[in-house]
Amino acid sequence: MAAQLALQDVSLQFGGIKVLREVSFTVEPGSIFGLVGPNGAGKTSLFNCISGHYTPTSGTVRIDGNEVQGARPATLARHGLARTFQHPALQLHATVLENVLLGAHTRLPGGALEWSVRTPRTRRAEKELRAEALELLERNELGWAAHLPADELSHGLHKGVELCRALLMKPQLLLLDEPAAGLPHAEVEHLIATVRRLRAEDDITVVIVEHHMGLIAALTDHVVVLDNGAKLMEGTAAEAQSDPRVIEAYIGKDGADDAA
Ligand SMILES: Nc1ncnc2c1ncn2[C@@H]1O[C@H](COP(=O)(O)OP(=O)(O)OP(=O)(O)O)[C@@H](O)[C@H]1O
């Protein structure tokens, strides 16, 4: 079986700045995989290369064995990829349900014309997707907020709405960018349970960028540590936490931040 996700020598450069340097790793189907490293290491840039928001300068990205580097996010959705962002980009004046339904655009049958005249097929699809979106909100304890404008919800709940939007795409591979950032402890525990359920019940492979090492240790089977755009090491979260190279990368960065 092909790896769910395989990166080979992925590099990214903006002008003269090397943001990623020949990063390679594979993510096995059904695993929960962590991508960690100090601020500015290149984690979000790497996510952007996988999700089609950036095109790598060189190297290959494969999903389920198919080369996809440079493909657009909508094409990648058809390969089973969905993602969340460090800062959820919701339509704040639309309702929570409408925001979740935005995740369904890749699953809609027919073209623009068929939707503009609202055929029986599009009406049926719309009804089914609304029901699915409401069920996802219920499962994520957000059913009560479905008809509220998104701007009435807290930052933590925005992250939950964004997760539901990604799940409505029915992904096999889900990228979560700092899902715990800004969440209080109780919500982090809830997030850990949610991600475990995604794997156990929905068979979704999850890749997480996160600074919260408690979450990484609790959830992941395997981590890659990035530093200065390059892979520093890979192994279990426990191996990463005790690796002198990783400790030095974090302390060096914190020391520089403290001095700034
Ligand atoms: N579009 C861009 N143009 C120029 N430089 C960029 C661009 N995107 C990212 N970078 C640079 O790439 C480097 C890595 O940034 P990135 O956000 O990927 O790091 P990160 O590991 O996700 O950091 P953090 O943990 O703080 O979110 C930074 O130096 C950043 O300034």
Question: Of 111, 135, 168, which residue is a domain's last?
Answer: 168
The reply to whether 32 and 160 lie within a common domain is no
Range of the domain at 131: 89-168
**What pLDDT shows up at residue 163?**
95
40 lines ligand 1 (CB under 6 A): yes
The reply to whether 135 and 116 lie within a common domain is yes
The reply to whether 129 and 51 lie within a common domain is no
**What pLDDT shows up at residue 105?**
72
Look at ligand 1, atom 30, and give the residue with the nearest C-alpha: 40
Distance 146 CA to ligand 1 centre (A): 34
The reply to whether 126 and 193 lie within a common domain is no
The reply to whether 175 and 163 lie within a common domain is no
231 lines ligand 1 (CB under 6 A): no
Please choose from 10, 12, 13, 17 the residue to mutate so as to test ligand 1's pocket, defined by most ligand atoms within 8 A of CB: 17
The reply to whether 161 and 111 lie within a common domain is yes
The reply to whether 149 and 200 lie within a common domain is no
The reply to whether 11 and 132 lie within a common domain is no
Q: Which two tokens stand for residue 102?
A: 């935005």
Q: Are 257 and 42 in contact (CB under 8 A)?
A: no
Among residues 54, 72, 64, 62, the alpha carbon closest in space to that of 14 is found at 54
Question: Of 168, 191, 208, which residue is a domain's last?
Answer: 168
The reply to whether 127 and 5 lie within a common domain is no
- The residue ranking higher by pLDDT, 235 or 121, is 235
Question: Of 168, 188, 213, which residue is a domain's last?
Answer: 168
Q: ipTM score of the complex?
A: 0.95
The region that residue 39 occupies, defined by phi over 0 for left and psi between -120 and 50 for alpha, beta otherwise, is beta
228 lines ligand 1 (CB under 6 A): no
Q: Are 168 and 104 in contact (CB under 8 A)?
A: yes
What confidence category does residue 108 fall into, taking pLDDT thresholds of 50, 70 and 90? low
19 lines ligand 1 (CB under 6 A): yes
The reply to whether 69 and 178 lie within a common domain is yes
Q: Please provide the average confidence, as pLDDT, over all residues in the chain.
A: 90
What confidence category does residue 260 fall into, taking pLDDT thresholds of 50, 70 and 90? very low
Look at ligand 1, atom 17, and give the residue with the nearest C-alpha: 44
The reply to whether 150 and 182 lie within a common domain is no
The reply to whether 126 and 227 lie within a common domain is no
Task: Count up the domains in the chain and report the number.
Answer: 2
List the alpha helices (DSSP H) in 168-230.
185-202, 213-219
CATH number at residue 211: 3.40.50.300
| Closest-lying ligand 1 atom to the alpha carbon of residue 209 | 22
